[in-house]
Amino acid sequence: MMKLLNHLKNFNPASVKVASLLVKRTPLSIGYIPDYVGFEIPNKFLVGYALDYNDYFRDLNHICIINEEGKMRFSKKG
């Protein structure tokens, strides 16, 4: 995101704001923080609504956490 924002400065916009549907809560959350956040989520692996796990689940119309059993079942190895 920082690279994109730096690139956008070349066009001299009056302002640029960043919105993110999800921001993950992690112990060391020191990364970029968007201006607008829909939901702060736990540090878990999410799937659904265009978020996938090994090309599965992106077509779900909701977002959910995939558990360890699900990760093993849909891993590329298994």
Residue 77 vs residue 11, higher pLDDT: 11
User: CA torsion angle for 63, 25, 21, 11 (degrees, to 10)?
Assistant: -150
Would you state the pLDDT for residue 10? 97
What DSSP character marks residue 58?
Answer: T
Q: What is the pLDDT of residues 23-60, one digit of tens each?
A: 988 876 667 889 999 999 988 999 999 999 999 999 99
d(CA 70, CA 68): 5
What pTM, to 2 d.p., does this model score? 0.72
